[in-house]
Structure 1
């Protein structure tokens, strides 16, 4: 069964990191156009932090996370999921292998971000990228954005380490207050280079830059957690147009 309809579950492969998985579930609920509990999306969250680090696997020969991610997707499949969302950008370096290992459709976070850029009124333009060292070095976002006619602005290696990874590590260490400053500095630098928008292309980064502080940064931001949540909501409403029930 490849439809995502009323009575079926959205399966969320979380834990990469665990706070990002929990934040995705929160934002999914916050963005769903619901009036009562029963109008929300039935969701199964597997928030398993034991999955080996994705950046270390690619950049430093660390343990391959793919078998763990496939096991997680199959767990969700057995539990009744009919659609999979993975709130981790770097995990999408293995997207093709994951989709090949399951019968379920898997949302693509970068495609969701591109849809969000269009929703924000940016069908083209110069897009600043933030993310893990692996995501940026291996061109995960660049390939998809450039194929759609966008120009990508990428921080240099020192900026990635100091600002992107500094902020990401702070979130993973539950130090949210320390995470904002390096992320905001990177956003400011990309804005100064002419970016029309900045992609928060690691699911820790939306936690580093709270929604309430974003207007003060003076540039459009697309949030990969929210973009993926919107993609799941759109898919659910498209496949189950009568899922909303009266209060």
Structure 2
């Protein structure tokens, strides 16, 4: 297979399944051959990202992801996407392990947000404790020139419950809990736009999109960009991956 891309997933598997579902659903097709060519690496045994970020004595997720990237690089994909926001904690180290472009999902998400909501005053960020602790999205939002809010401990507890108790453990999305989180960030913390800084939250958005709030879904955005890049590559167009953000 030539002119394909690699999806580094499995963190978690339901979020990765959501990415693949949206990828296939949003790709314009009339026949089998219109779908995109890609390899999915569903590496579900990668150590917990948040646990390591909060306590470096816990197993690191960097070595297995570097191994995945090196293995895939031998196959020469055109680009790679990493379907886990929290894993971008080691983005520089992961990109340094290959010459293949690795799309930076948080940077891409905030780049799109800045264009879509240029007049937003305050951005809400909901994510795992690991993503909050590593400041990836926080720094991206500040660098884009926006004020931001992380909510409070009550919001964080709800977010963690939705991600871990409902999605990762039960395999279900609690739509009412998701809506409550968005409403609180909007009403109590005056957030014009809410960034979904976890792919499990992206799954919640896919399964429960019927709400009035402005959200930036990093996984949904990387789906659209994957399609855009893959279609250009199939047509033989050259992409300068240093200028995609």
TM range (shorter): 0.7 to 0.9
Deviations 1:157-179, CA, capped at 9 Å, x for gaps: 3421x1111111021113314x3
Q: Would the alpha carbon gap of residues 76 and 55 (structure 1) be closer, same or farther in structure 2, given more than 3 Å must change?
A: same
Give, in angstroms, the shift of residue 202 of structure 1.
0.3
Segments of structure 2 that go 5 or more residues without pairing to the other structure are 238-245
Q: Would the alpha carbon gap of residues 191 and 46 (structure 1) be closer, same or farther in structure 2, given more than 3 Å must change?
A: same
CA contact (8 A) 1:84 1:107 kept: yes
CA contact (8 A) 2:192 2:214 kept: yes
Match of 2:7 in 1: 12
Give, in angstroms, the shift of residue 52 of structure 1.
0.4
Segments of structure 1 that go 5 or more residues without pairing to the other structure are 1-5
Q: 1:236 aligns with which of 222, 225, 230?
A: 230
Q: 2:150 aligns with which of 125, 150, 154?
A: 154
1:214 partner SS? coil
Deviates more, 1:48-57 or 1:194-203: 194-203
Q: Would the alpha carbon gap of residues 128 and 233 (structure 1) be closer, same or farther in structure 2, given more than 3 Å must change?
A: same
- How many equivalent pairs are there? 233
- Normalised to the residue count of structure 2, the TM-score between the two structures is 0.87
State whether structure 2 residue 204 is matched by structure 1 residue 208: yes
When the two chains are superposed, the root-mean-square deviation of aligned CA atoms in Å is 2.0
Match of 1:50 in 2: 45
- Normalised to the residue count of structure 1, the TM-score between the two structures is 0.86
Match of 1:173 in 2: 169
Distance in 2 (alpha carbons) for counterparts of 1:7 and 1:82: 9
Deviations 1:58-93, CA, capped at 9 Å, x for gaps: 113310110011111122222342211011000001
Distance in 2 (alpha carbons) for counterparts of 1:112 and 1:237: 18
CA contact (8 A) 1:66 1:94 kept: yes
Match of 2:84 in 1: 88
Give, in angstroms, the shift of residue 19 of structure 1.
1.1
